[in-house]
Each structure stands twice: as structure tokens, then as C-alpha cells.
Amino acid sequence: MNEISEAVRLLEAGRLVAMPTETVYGLACDATNPQAVARVYAAKGRPQFNPLIVHVRDLAAAEEQALLPQKARALAEKFWPGPLSIVAQRRPGASVCDLACAGLASVALRAPAHETAQALLATFGKPIAAPSANRSGHVSPTTPAHVREDLGGAVDLILDGGPARVGIESTIVAFHGARALLLRPGSFARAEIEAVTGSLELPKPGAIEAPGMLASHYAPRALLRLDATEPKQGESYLAFGSAAPPGGLSLSESGDLVEAAANLYAHLRALDASGARAIAIAPIPHAGIGEAINDRLRRAAAPRG
């Protein structure tokens, strides 16, 4: 049996499969099966108020699940398949179970571009709920080895799609009637999205519109110090735009933000594994995908709850 048929067999049985996507690896289950979704929350140690992203093949499949306003459809047409999630009102009677949406009236939908994810969706024929395949609050996985480290025996099969190309989670845009909010920056520059939606609102500081916006999130074990132009005594250094110093790593020697995003989580995990107690991180420009990198670093550095 090839791996996709084996994965489909497991999904149909309510089991969990690690699915490569272009952003990060997802912990996939049948989005219409509440027992399977409950297993995902348990495997991650994820609070059940934190809804999952539901993966679909395309816009037509998304419209079976949600009432998409015109601007949401225009976004999907422009950026799907790709690293963009759209939150919109659930369609009454749609097949995704309540638990996947944590009981909310809205659902987060994404059509991933990775060919393995697309093959799985096509063969399975139903929506797939998949949060990032890491323990809740920890750094997202960008390789099969990261998934094994975090979730080990809790996942029934890991599909190997190579290292994730983008390396940070999808951009999330939520629609409330005519309002469009940027819930989570991702690899698209904000201006690329706004060219379609008009100006995006940002969630009010302190408001938790997506639970992934919790202040402390995406965190390694080591303490982080941001905007550090050099390491202090006892710190490992994560460089940007220069070579790695001894014992440290560089997100991108040439100062390429796309390369830095792809390396971010693997490097944080590697410095954690090296036993670093504290990691100092070079300043990262805020342009383009830099907004998302800085967002994740801020959360990773926030005081732990």
C-alpha cells in the first residue's frame, strides 16, 4: 500500500497522521469526526478552546464549510493553494464537527500547496483538521524529526514531505461581515493581502481573537533575548545577516528574510537541543515576512504562563 492510501485508511479510522505542508507540519485528522479531533487536542496537550485549522482542497470545498464574503473569495482565488487561512462564518449544516471549531460560529479554512497535503486531501475526500504537529505552546515542526521529538507515539504515521519550504505558520485573515482582520501575520507581506481586502484591522492589544495569539507561544525551552546585536556571557547567538559565531547559528548569512523564516524553528530547536540556557537573537527587519518572524519571536520571548 502506498503511504497516501495508508494515511487515508488511518484518517478513516479516526487516527492521527502528521502531514507535511509548505508552512509547517500539521497533525492531521478527520475534521468531521469529533473523537479524532479530541485525540488531536489530547496529543498536543492543547486547551480545547483553541480551534483548529481545517484544510480543504480548494475554494469550492471551502464554500461547503463556510459562508465566504466576496473579499474572502477573492483572497482564496489569488492565494490558494498556499500559506493563507481564512476565518469566516460556518455554513449551517456543514460537515466539520463543532469540536474542530471549539464550538465557535466561525471556522478557519486553508487550501495548502504542498503536493503531499493535496494528494491526501484529494484521496481522503473530506476536510482535514490539522494544527501544527507540536506540543501546545512549543515551536512548530518543520521536519518529520521535529514531529517525532514532540509527539512521538501519539501520531500513527508521519508522512515525509521534506523540510517545510516556508517554515512559519500561515497568514490568518478573519472576516466579520465587512471587516477583515489580520489575526496572524505569515509569509505574505501585509500589503499583498491588503491589495485584495483593503486595509486590514489588527486585533486590539490584549484581545484574543485567535488563541494562537496568546502572548507566550511558539516557545523553545531556553530564554530568549531579542534585538541583540551581540551575545552576552552565557548566551548562544542566533545571527541574521552575518555568519554564525562559535556555538551559535545564523538564520541567514546573506540577510535573506525568506531563508530566515524557513530556518527559524529548526534553529531554535537546535539551540535548545545544544543545551543553551539563553539565546540572544539578532534584530530582524520588519519588512515582508519579517513581520511574521518578529511576531513569532515576540511570543517565544514572552514571559511563560
Q: Which residues bind ligand TXA (CB under 6 A)?
A: 21, 23-24, 26, 50-53, 83, 85, 87, 101, 104, 106-108, 110, 112, 130-132, 169-170, 172, 174, 183, 209-212
The least CB distance from residue 240 to Mg ion, in Å, is 23
The least CB distance from residue 300 to ligand TXA, in Å, is 14
CA-based max dimension of the chain? 59
Per-residue binding letters, 114-133, with Mg ion (x by CB under 5 A): ------------------x-
Return the number of the residue (267 or 299) whose C-beta is nearest ligand TXA. Answer: 299
With b for 16 or more beta-carbon neighbours within 10 A and e for fewer, the 83-122 pattern comes to bbbbbbbbbeebebbebbbbeeebbbbbbbbbebbbbbbe
The least CB distance from residue 198 to ligand TXA, in Å, is 20
Return the number of the residue (184 or 280) whose C-beta is nearest ligand TXA. Answer: 184
Return the number of the residue (171 or 236) whose C-beta is nearest Mg ion. Answer: 171
From the list Mg ion, ligand TXA, none, which binds 155 (C-beta under 5 to 8 Å, kind-based)?
none
CB 6 within 8 A of CB 70: no
Residue in the shown chain whose Cβ atom is closest to ligand TXA: 212
Using DSSP, state whether 57 is helix, strand or coil: coil
What are the cell numbers at 122?
484529494
Q: Which amino acid is at 124?
A: F
The least CB distance from residue 22 to ligand TXA, in Å, is 8
From the list Mg ion, ligand TXA, none, which binds 59 (C-beta under 5 to 8 Å, kind-based)?
none
Using DSSP, state whether 119 is helix, strand or coil: helix
Angstrom CA distances, 152 to 14, 68, 263, stand at 18, 37, 22
The least CB distance from residue 32 to Mg ion, in Å, is 21
d(CA 256, CA 94): 42
The least CB distance from residue 203 to ligand TXA, in Å, is 10
Strands 53-55 vs 106-110: parallel, antiparallel or unpaired: parallel
From the list Mg ion, ligand TXA, none, which binds 181 (C-beta under 5 to 8 Å, kind-based)?
none
From the list Mg ion, ligand TXA, none, which binds 255 (C-beta under 5 to 8 Å, kind-based)?
none
Nearest to 224 by CA among 170, 145, 142, 293: 293
Residues numbered 131 to 150 that lie near Mg ion (CB under 5 A) are: 132
Please enumerate in sequence order all residues whose Cβ is within 8 A of that of 56, keeping only pairs 6 or more positions apart, or say none: 62, 64, 65, 109, 110, 111, 121, 127, 128
The least CB distance from residue 70 to ligand TXA, in Å, is 20
Q: Which amino acid is at 294?
A: N
Residue in the shown chain whose Cβ atom is closest to Mg ion: 132
Task: Determine phi and psi for 17, rounding to 5 degrees.
Answer: -130, 130
From the list ligand TXA, Mg ion, none, which binds 33 (C-beta under 5 to 8 Å, kind-based)?
none
